[in-house]
Structures are given as structure tokens and as C-alpha cells.
A and B are shown apart, each in its own frame.
Chain A
Amino acid sequence: MANPNTKFLVVDDFSTMRRIVRNLLKELGYTNVDEAEDGVMAISKLKQGGFEFVVSDWNMPNMDGLTMLQAIRADPSLATLPVLMVTAEAKKENIIAAAQAGANGYIVKPFTAATLDEKLSKIFEKLGM
């Protein structure tokens, strides 16, 4: 487990899913979690600083998750932020596009608590967090 104070941003247009991810993170020991309902809101929150991890949906109004990921990677102050995609988009081309855009992980909905735990641990381990 990484630092329990690691600050997460959960991005999803469905409040149900934001709550589920928030609760799962809490169960895994991470209680420092903020939420955003689309890419635009997420970027604006991220720019205020302090966030260390992003868990994001793909299909959202205003700005989708892939565009948000590309914006993060293009912004020097955010470029190294780990981003885990959690989405119902299950086409191979989606997964490839996310990987090419620099996603650190990709979870397809519906998912289990164990999957989230595993992917998070993998990313933390890789980044030495």
C-alpha cells in the first residue's frame, strides 16, 4: 500500500460510480479522495494542485476521459500524474488508444474490488510510490 494520504481524484459522470470508487478506495485505506463529474472539471481541479492519482471514466459529457488524459500528459505540471482508466468501453482500439495516450492502467466495468486493488498496487509498485 502507498501512503494512505495519497490524494485521489475520481472522475465519472455517474454519481453512483463515483461513490462506489470512493468507498472502495476508503476500504483499501485511502481516504483523501475528491470527485469531478467530467474532464473539464477534473482538469480545473488538477490544476489547483495537490493530486497524486487520477481514476477516470472514459465516456463523459463536456470532456471525455481520453481527451482529459491527453490534456494531462500535455501539461508539464501534470504530465507525470498516474491515471487509471475505469470504463465500460471495452473495444481493443479503446484500450490501445488509452495506452498510447499514456494511461497507467485500464479497468473495464463492471469490475471487482479485487481488480481495483490489484491495478492500484501494480501502478504504485511501478512508480515506486
Chain B
Amino acid sequence: MKNNNTNVIAPEALGILPIHLENDEMLSRIGHMTRGLHENLRALGFDKIIEQAAHNIPDARDRLNYVARMTEQAAERVLNATDIASPLQDEIAKQAAVLQERWKKVMEVASVKSEYNEAASETVAFIHKTIENTSATKEQLMEIMMAQDFQDLTGQVIKKITELAQSLEQQLVQLLLDYSPSAIKKELDNHLMNGPQIAPEGTANVVSNQGQVDDLLESLGF
């Protein structure tokens, strides 16, 4: 058909499209690209790779959950241990302080026996050291306890990654369902947890009453 607008140069000819046409063209091009990408991916066997990836994500998620669980348990064990050890140190420190006072009083009175004085001095020195060391040990116990805060921090990161993996998995499975040949679709639907059958009569490989269940078991020799 002859163009009746011969005097006017069509904007299309200049590469300028009206906005609605521009949108249509863009959508159509995206459609073509998607189709082309889909064909290429399938030719390369990428649908299998995507299927594999979607399949592997629950496993990765389980592993992350394992890491979260084990680190939490380890942190709990450490906290239980520091909770037990800390009051033990307190008790030693308290008793040492009492003993220290008593010895101080005793030693104010000079004793005749020099061996006795020597032993007493050593005991007092030991008590002093005990008080110093229990305090230092308590500090280290606090440090050990504080270090367990990693469990909160790594736990938060693991939770974020697990959520990310879950959303990625859903998207991959949806991608497969939307673009896979019907054989794969069937395969993906082929789980053991499908719940009640809503139309068993018309579905292959599904029993519709208890009689069929018993018949099937009988045919298998049960």
C-alpha cells in the first residue's frame, strides 16, 4: 500500500518513536531477548543447572542452620562454664581475704619460734597472691564470656543469608516452572508430600479409595 504521507517525513524514519510506540517496541524487544535467552540457555543445558541450583539451596540452608545451631550450643556451653567458675573464684577470694586479716592480727604479736614466723610470712604471701590471681582469673572469665557475643552477631548474618537463599530458591523454582518443558514441570511436582488429592479419578498414579490401596498392597505381596 502506498504511503499517503509522502510530503511529511515520518518521525519513525528519523528514529524517533512516539512514546506509546516506544514502549510497545521496548516490551516486544524484551520479549524477544527473553525468548532468545531462554532458547540459548536450554541449548546449553542451563535449565538443568538452574534445576540443580534450586535443588541444592535447601541443602545449603540446612548447613547454615547447622552452623548456627552448633555455634549457639558452643556459646551456651562456654557461658555455663564461666557461670560456674566465676562464683568459685569469688569464694576463694573471699576466704583468702578473711585469712589474710586473721594472719595479720596473729603476726602483730611477735612469736618466739622463728620457724613459725617464717611459715606464717610465707602463708601470708601466698594468700596475697591468691587474692591477686583470683581477681585476674575473674577478669579473664569475663573476657571469655564477652567473646561469646560472636554468636549473636554471626547468628544475625546467618539468618540474613538463610532468608536470601530461601527467596533465591523460590525464584529459581518459579523460573523453572514458568519456562521448563512440561516433563520437568511434572518432575518438580513429583514429591511425596502432596496432601489430599482433589480430583483423584482423573489423575494417573493416584488411588481414589481404600479398596484401591488394599488391592495395590496385595498385588505387591503384603
Residues on A with beta carbons closer than 8 Å to the beta carbon of B155:
14, 16
On whether A16 and B76 interact (CB within 8 A), knowing A27-B142, A109-B149, A113-B146, the answer reads yes
In the complex, B165 has a CB within 8 A of chain A: no
On whether A16 and B149 interact (CB within 8 A), knowing A23-B83, A88-B156, the answer reads yes
The B contact surface, by secondary structure, is: helix
Nearest CB on B from A39, distance (A) = 16
Total A-B contacts with CB atoms under 8 angstroms apart: 48
Question: Is the pair B145, A109 in contact by a Cβ cutoff of 8 Å?
Answer: no
Question: Is the pair A17, B152 in contact by a Cβ cutoff of 8 Å?
Answer: yes
In chain A, residues 84-116, which have Cβ atoms closer than 8 Å to a Cβ of chain B? 88, 109-113
Residues on B with beta carbons closer than 8 Å to the beta carbon of A15:
72, 76
Residues of B that sit less than 8 Å from A by CB = 72, 75-76, 79, 82-83, 142, 145-146, 148-153, 155-156
Question: Is the pair A20, B153 in contact by a Cβ cutoff of 8 Å?
Answer: no
In chain A, residues 22-80, which have Cβ atoms closer than 8 Å to a Cβ of chain B? 23-24, 27, 59
Question: Is the pair A20, B146 in contact by a Cβ cutoff of 8 Å?
Answer: yes
On whether A16 and B75 interact (CB within 8 A), knowing A109-B152, A109-B153, the answer reads yes
Residues on B with beta carbons closer than 8 Å to the beta carbon of A112:
146
User: What 20 new A-B contacts, CB under 8 Å, besides A14-B152, A17-B149, A88-B156?
Assistant: A14-B151, A14-B155, A15-B72, A16-B72, A16-B75, A16-B76, A16-B151, A16-B155, A20-B79, A20-B148, A23-B79, A23-B142, A27-B142, A88-B152, A109-B149, A110-B146, A110-B149, A110-B150, A111-B149, A112-B146
Nearest CB on A from B215, distance (A) = 49
Alpha-carbon distance between A5 and B75 when the two chains are bound, in angstroms: 29
In the complex, A122 has a CB within 8 A of chain B: no
On whether A19 and B79 interact (CB within 8 A), knowing A112-B146, A113-B142, A113-B146, the answer reads yes
Residues on A with beta carbons closer than 8 Å to the beta carbon of B75:
16
Residues on B with beta carbons closer than 8 Å to the beta carbon of A111:
149
Chain A: CB-nearest residue to B160? A59
Question: Is the pair B149, A20 in contact by a Cβ cutoff of 8 Å?
Answer: yes
Nearest CB on B from A103, distance (A) = 19
Residues on B with beta carbons closer than 8 Å to the beta carbon of A23:
79, 82-83, 142, 145
Residues on A with beta carbons closer than 8 Å to the beta carbon of B146:
20, 24, 110, 112-113
Q: Which 4 A-B pairs have the closest CB atoms?
A: A14-B152, A17-B152, A16-B151, A16-B75
Alpha-carbon distance between A27 and B139 when the two chains are bound, in angstroms: 10
Chain A: CB-nearest residue to B79? A19
Alpha-carbon distance between A111 and B151 when the two chains are bound, in angstroms: 13
Residues on A with beta carbons closer than 8 Å to the beta carbon of B83:
19, 23
Alpha-carbon distance between A109 and B154 when the two chains are bound, in angstroms: 11
Question: Is the pair B145, A88 in contact by a Cβ cutoff of 8 Å?
Answer: no
Nearest CB on B from A30, distance (A) = 15
Question: Is the pair B153, A110 in contact by a Cβ cutoff of 8 Å?
Answer: yes
**Residue A12 contacts which of B148, B150, B152 (CB distance < 8 angstroms)?**
B152
Question: Is the pair B79, A88 in contact by a Cβ cutoff of 8 Å?
Answer: no
